[in-house]
Amino acid sequence: MNTVTALSWLPYVLIPLIVVALAATFWALTVRNKRRAGSSIEELRRQAAGSTTRPEVAKRPGQPPSAGTGPGSVSPASVSPAKVTPILPTLDTPEASGTRLARLRSRLAKSGSPFGTKLLNLLSRDHLTDADWDVLEETLLVADVGAGPAAELVAALKTRVRVEGASDPARVKAILREELIRLVDPTMDRSLNLGTHHPASRHSAASLVEAQNAESSVPAVVLVIGVNGTGKTTTIGKLARVLVADGKTVLLGAADTFRAAAADQLQTWGSKVGVRTIRSQKDGADPAAVAFEAVKIGKAEGVDVVLIDTAGRLQNKQGLMDELGKITRVIEKEAPISEVLLVLDATTGQNGMQQARVFSAVAGVTGIVLTKLDGTARGGIVIAVQRELGVPVKLVGLGEGPDDLAPFDPTQFVEGILGE
């Protein structure tokens, strides 16, 4: 009985011993693994710390010492980094304005302008009937010459052809050339007014000098207006190139704050010729405030010309037109406006004439810029718009290239239409 009793207690003794032994074994394994992990981390740290130093390499006999190891050598760490010179953008060199209109004449001649070609074909006939003269007048009307100038030209041509008995094509062409040039009116002043309007006193030399000094510090302010789609902002960028080519310092004012890309577009144009753009940092800002700031900065920096872009607006939107009047008034608090250029699309015809009337009444247009004129059948708008407004066409767009804007010359324009 004693033996049986002793054996019955044996499991109660062995099981705790086995549990303790297993726990001890597990603890020992955990400690060993931690030590191994710690050794690996230390090894990695030592390797990382020693990676910046080069280990000694046994040299072969006669091998020269490596750079940075001999007496008086300079370690790579002690060499100061070379200065990096920023690469400045290459600026464009705009084409001189004097050679630009010759390209317009060449383009018009090569395009075979329907306007000039049809007139020459009619006038070169041996005998012109009343029906022929009616067709001639209709051709002029289709070319947007306008009813008054068209009737005037037909009357002048009819008289000269009958009186002179002209039948030779060369003579007929010469007569047509002379009459067209007369209608385009070469006597109008087509130069950009880049002076200022400070009145100089005539009573004392001192006041005259004072006025001249004041005038020299005020830039010429050119306000550019027109409807959307005429190429207004592009025209300003091209005009900046014309002025830079003529040796003027220019500042651009991005007062078209309604069209999201207008300021970016203007800034891109200016950056190509080293011209700065004054713009608002947010869309929808007060355009009059932007224009005023541009003129103020231009005055402080002593630039020659400040070009102000404005939002394209329809001539029948009274609110927008009133805002244009506000821009004009605000600018004139800082400096007088030298030019108000109206940009018209030469292909819009009588719609362009209506735009010209309204804009002229609101902003006092002093000059016209005709875009998309090269190769168009509607070159007669040059005559019509000048007759309607009494202001000259001063600049014409020749195409899509950056230097395709030129001062307008009546003689070369007419000769281009006639294919000379």
The per-residue pLDDT for 57 is 41
Q: How far apart are the first and last CA of the chain?
A: 143
Are 245 and 271 within 8 A, CB to CB? Answer: no
Residues 6+ apart with CB under 8 A from 43: none
Are 92 and 403 within 8 A, CB to CB? Answer: no
Q: 356: which 2 tokens?
A: 């010209």
DSSP 93: -
**∠ at Cα 90 (87, 93), nearest 5°?**
165
Q: Name the residue with tokens 């577009």.
A: 265
Per residue of the chain (420 residues), give pLDDT as tens: 455 555 566 666 677 777 777 777 777 777 676 666 555 556 655 655 554 444 444 444 554 554 444 444 444 444 444 455 555 567 878 787 767 767 766 766 665 566 677 777 777 777 778 888 888 888 888 877 888 888 898 898 888 888 877 667 778 788 888 988 999 999 999 999 887 543 333 333 333 333 444 445 789 999 999 887 788 899 999 999 999 998 999 999 999 888 778 888 999 999 999 999 999 888 778 899 999 999 999 999 999 999 999 887 665 566 667 788 889 999 999 999 999 999 988 877 667 777 788 888 888 899 999 888 765 546 778 888 888 888 999 998 877 888 888 888 888 888 877 766
Could you tell me the strand order of the sheet in which 250-255 lies?
276-278, 250-255, 305-310, 220-225, 337-345, 367-371, 393-397, 405-407
Per the rule left: phi > 0, alpha: psi between -120 and 50, beta: everything else, 375 is: left
pTM: 0.70
| Residue 75 neighbours by CB distance under 10 Å | 9
Are 342 and 310 within 8 A, CB to CB? Answer: no
Contacts of 389-392 with C-beta under 8 Å, sequence gap 24+, read 389/356, 389/357, 389/360, 389/365, 391/360, 391/365, 391/366, 391/367, 392/185, 392/188, 392/189, 392/190, 392/367, 392/368
